[in-house]
Structure 1
Amino acid sequence: MGCCKSAQYGCCIAIDDDESIILNKPTGKEIRHGPGWNFFPCWYDVNVIKSIPLQRNEYLVVKHIINDRKSKAHATNTSNKEEGIEFINADAASEDAKLMEIIHGPQIYRIRNPYDQISDHTVNRGIKQMLNLSSTQYLIVTNKFNGEKKVERGPKLYCPRPSDDISDIRNMYNLSSTEYIIVTDESSGEKNTVPGPQLFCPKAYDKISVVYSYIVLNHTNYCRIIDSRTGVMRMEEGPKTFALGPYESLIKLDNQTIFDIINIDNENAVLVKNLDTGFDELITKPQKFIPSFTQKFLEIRKLIKLAPYENMVLIDKDGQHILKNGLKDKSFFIYPYQQVYTQEWSNDLNKNHKSINKVDRFDTRNQYMDYEFLVRTADNVEIILDVSIFWQITDLYKLVLVTMDPPEDICNHTRSQILSEVSKYNMKEFMELPNNMLIDSVNKDDNFYNSRGVNVIRVEVLQKRCKDAEIQKIFKQIIDEKTNRIKNNEKQEASNEIRLRDLTGQIDAEKLFGTLLKIKKENERQENQADGIAEGSKIQNFINNLGDDIPLEKKLQIYFDIQNTKRLELLASNKTSMYLTPKEVDTKVVNVNTMYSTNDVVQQKDLNRINIEV
């Protein structure tokens, strides 16, 4: 851009292609666009304005001021035809009408009217950014002049108008298959349920609730739903998932909205209250039970089972007692307005009702309990007595009517009977008194027990001890002395018995030893006799087999020679040194080469002998 100035001829200015000048003349304003030289008088005011490049996501707001209606109409008719320009009638009733132009990019904006004003031109030359909305975003636009609202949703580039009040960019509601929302139209007050799955874009006047999850019911659940607008109630049973209506809510009972379906079988029944009649009902028919809207669930009642020895008492609404026996009523349900009768039995050692046991099942078998109480002898010595009482329930109806604590009554009555007997003896006599005499004082056939429906079978004394520790110590010493004396006597008797048994054993052993010697001698004699008979039989057979032609003396000589030969062989087979004197040597060795039978005739001359005499 170049400029020259002369007082005689005026001024001239050169402007580029992207520049324009506004001449402020006395008669009005004029705009000239480049490129080129422009001449004007020197008393004109000149403003040089550069063109504004706009990107695709940029825009300008231009205010066009016109003084006469004709110029206004001309500007409106010409400008509306140009691309990228939008006119907004800001205030048609004002004296100087204002037309606002919105210039969209992409383009290079060159001012067209000398009366145009760019809004907020001091900030970034008035260039504003469009709002980039993605496919999951939206915003609410409010018209400042008439208050109307509309929704602009993506994907798009949104160019706000000067009269628009823009909300924050919001994300659409991406609802899954298990989510839903409640939409309230603030213009009409109507509500609707929008279930998933979907991408939901609210309308301009919609108020959105929080995102709710579907109600999930499995095959054992149910729930109750009420419509707050109509008051109609309905019931949903699983398995299923569902969304509540806009005016619906879950009915809450005992801080619970989803309930379990009740299985009624042979072991379980359900007690409900009929809200129409006000009466309680017990439902025992096997089924999957869901209370209706006229029924209020109270409780599940279990089937009561009694053993043959067990009994139970029920009280009905009129206060009557109902006896249940295990032999007849083996199992039953407790019906409405019936309750189980319960007693509190003392289970402490002193039976003073400080420790109790609640009993609702009465056992008719023999029962056992320990009882400790204080007695006083004739010489005013206090003794603690421990007893064991075996008793049995014989009539449950009498027991229920007469007493609330049978063990306490039995123990107190037994104590009174024993006290009357103990008062007859002093301490020494009482301590030495046999337990059976003390037990006999208890009258087991007393009407006291019969009136309470119980029977005392047996009473046993477990322990007797003095309450005073010093007396108990002295009494213990006496008992210890007696015990030691008995122990020593028993020990001496045991020693004598052992010694006597030892002597008796020795005597028996000697007798048995003598008998053994006799038996040994007799056995030895019989063995020798048997050996002699066997040897004689052997010799006789040998001699008889030599034949009848040999004399007996020769036969005996032959036998003796053979025996001597065997002795020599036995002697020679062992490595033994034997020293003999000449007088002691008398050894003969006979070799018999031939043996003849008794039928052959043997001649003495035919016998070959070898006689060796040493």
Structure 2
Amino acid sequence: MGNACCIPTCSCASETEQLLLEGPLRKRVINGPGCVCVPAFTRATVRSGVLLDESQYAHIRNDLHGEISSVRGPHLYFPGAYEMVLERLTVISLSRDEWARVQNKTTGQRRVEVGEQKVYLEPMESLMDRGKGYLIDEHHAVLAKDTSTAELKLVVKQGMYIPGPFDDVIQVQEKLLLEEYEVCILKDPSGRFSFYHGSNERERSFFVPPFWSLVQLRWSNPVVVSRVAMDTTPPPTHKMVSRFDLRPSFMNYEFIARTTDNVELAISITFFWRIIDVEAMILKTADTPGDICTHARSIIIQAVAGYKLLDFLSAFNAIVTKHILQSGDRFYNERGVELLNVEVMKFHCVDKNTDRVLQEIIQETTERLKALEKQRSENEVEEARIAGEIAVEQNKSQLEMLRIKAAVEQEAANAELVDLKKGHEKRHAIIEGGAEAGKIMAFVEGMGERASDQVKMELYHMLRRLDAIKAVSGGNATLYYTPNDVNLSIESLAQSRAHSD
């Protein structure tokens, strides 16, 4: 900065500088490069220009009328004689899924700018916040609050959601998808419960409405709670449950009971149970597993107190099952649950010396059972061997019986076949005899009364012999007949013809 002088002077400025000349009556600027002769009583000040690149802009105030304007880069800006640079700012670059919320500090008005673009703040504006948009699809929604009206709204329209000028996003909400066996509970603004069942197609998927809340129950961990009861160090732990599974499930529980002969036992029990009525459950209890185990603990302590140690050892599972399943049905039904089964998994004496004796008893009992089981196995093996031999003999006997039966059936079939052949031969002989008799009768009747019956028969037999001789002579075989076989003579033939005449 120069000083006013009563005599003229010379001042110079480069390309990026300017001279501010302040005289008695006015101010003026001369932009470089160059040199200027400064008049008398005038102060000359060299000041740099405002160099702005593409990502910058500046706010300029005019001191004469108070107006504020903006200058955007890229640009080398030289302020006027009465102008002053208030601030140099960086442009707000928004990508496609980004937004920026801007507020006017004078009027309080807000506006939201959405990318993809460059945002320049006006002189009286400030950046409130910026962020990315929220992608809404079938399984996601946005719960937002309008700060101007305090109204909550659930935005489910699919696409990119950009908050409005007065919108605050509270959370991105996932759609609840229930399985067939699940139930959940919603509480409306008035405190009433609504039950949603996965088995109902219209209720199995939904968004939690504004001012509604998903009901969560704090269920205790029975194993940890029971260990606390046994003076161990781990603190009780819990789990938050909002989806209630209607399928059968199990849980383990440990507690201490005392027999009538004053032996302290630590008993571990497994409960098999299921929820049958969620509405009854939530109206009666906030800790279903804790209620089941506490109630069962009371019953078992009373039951064990009525038995001596050895009596309890002989039938511990039957004792526990009998007392729990038969005495607590109403208690469980009132809480909307069903106790399916109870099993004693293990137990031991709290006192180490007593537990050592107990283990010896158990070991001895185990050895005895092992011996009995071994003997039983050997007996079963011997029985199986004898049964196998009996089966083999029975099979042999059955095979022999089948063979004899088959032979008898074959003989019967052969006899039947012989009878059939004999019948056929008899019928054939009858037919041939009938035919031969017919021929004889025809021959005899043809000769009439001209010859006696004896002559007729002799003549017939002689003709049959001639036929036989012709049949034999027609072949290649040689056959010899005796005179008695033929019994032919010219005399007999002549006599036969004479009789026939």
- Give the structure-2-normalised TM-score: 0.67
Q: 1:395-431, CA deviations, whole angstroms, 9 ceiling, x for partnerless residues?
A: 0000000000010111112122222221121122222
Structure richer in helix, relative to its length? 2
The residue aligned with 2:120 is 243
SS of structure 1 residue aligned to 2:179: coil
Kindly state the Cα deviation for residue 232 of structure 1 after the two structures are TM-superposed.
Answer: 4.0
Seen in structure 2, the aligned counterparts of structure 1 residues 166 and 225 have a Cα distance that, compared at 3 Å, is same
The residue aligned with 1:142 is 22
Seen in structure 2, the aligned counterparts of structure 1 residues 208 and 314 have a Cα distance that, compared at 3 Å, is same
- Kept in 2, the 8 Å contact 1:348–1:356? The answer is no
The residue aligned with 2:356 is 473
- Kept in 1, the 8 Å contact 2:178–2:198? The answer is yes
- Kept in 1, the 8 Å contact 2:102–2:126? The answer is yes
Whether 2:163 is the aligned partner of 1:280: answer: no
2:134 to 253, 262, 280: 262
Q: 1:322-363, CA deviations, whole angstroms, 9 ceiling, x for partnerless residues?
A: 001001111011112211111111114153682100001100
Number of aligned residue pairs: give it. 372
Whether 2:204 is the aligned partner of 1:326: answer: no
Structure 2: give runs of 5+ residues left out of the alignment: 227-234, 387-501
How does 1:107-256 map onto structure 2 within 5 Å?
A: 131-143=11-23, 146=24, 148-161=26-39, 163-167=41-45, 169-250=46-127, 252=128
Amino acid at match of 2:353: E
Whether 2:342 is the aligned partner of 1:459: answer: yes
Whether 2:322 is the aligned partner of 1:450: answer: no
Structure 1: give runs of 5+ residues left out of the alignment: 1-87, 91-99, 103-129, 505-614
The residue aligned with 2:321 is 439
Q: Which protein has greater RCO, CA pairs closer than 8 Å, 6+ apart?
A: 2
In structure 1, what is the Cα distance between the partners aligned to 2:300 and 2:261? 16
SS of structure 2 residue aligned to 1:398: helix
Q: 1:205-245, CA deviations, whole angstroms, 9 ceiling, x for partnerless residues?
A: 32213321111111112222233344443332211113212
Amino acid at match of 1:320: R
- Kept in 1, the 8 Å contact 2:163–2:169? The answer is yes
Amino acid at match of 2:306: K
- Kept in 1, the 8 Å contact 2:21–2:44? The answer is yes
- Kept in 2, the 8 Å contact 1:351–1:411? The answer is no
- Kept in 1, the 8 Å contact 2:113–2:119? The answer is no
Q: 1:281-328, CA deviations, whole angstroms, 9 ceiling, x for partnerless residues?
A: 223232433333465443332211100111001111111110010011
The residue aligned with 1:3 is none
Seen in structure 2, the aligned counterparts of structure 1 residues 138 and 497 have a Cα distance that, compared at 3 Å, is same
Q: 1:420-456, CA deviations, whole angstroms, 9 ceiling, x for partnerless residues?
A: 2211211222223342343222225611000000000
- Kept in 2, the 8 Å contact 1:370–1:386? The answer is yes
1:351 to 218, 225, 228: 225
How does 1:358-437 map onto structure 2 within 5 Å?
A: 358-437=240-319
SS of structure 2 residue aligned to 1:414: helix
- Give the structure-1-normalised TM-score: 0.56
SS of structure 2 residue aligned to 1:141: strand
In structure 2, what is the Cα distance between the partners aligned to 1:89 and 1:436? 118
Kindly state the Cα deviation for residue 482 of structure 1 after the two structures are TM-superposed.
Answer: 4.0
In structure 2, what is the Cα distance between the partners aligned to 1:364 and 1:89? 98
In structure 2, what is the Cα distance between the partners aligned to 1:361 and 1:321? 14
Kindly state the Cα deviation for residue 479 of structure 1 after the two structures are TM-superposed.
Answer: 2.7
In structure 1, what is the Cα distance between the partners aligned to 2:5 and 2:377? 139
How does 1:470-549 map onto structure 2 within 5 Å?
A: 470-484=353-367
CA RMSD of aligned residues (A): 3.1
Seen in structure 2, the aligned counterparts of structure 1 residues 458 and 89 have a Cα distance that, compared at 3 Å, is closer
Kindly state the Cα deviation for residue 186 of structure 1 after the two structures are TM-superposed.
Answer: 2.4
In structure 1, what is the Cα distance between the partners aligned to 2:350 and 2:106? 81
Larger radius of gyration: 1
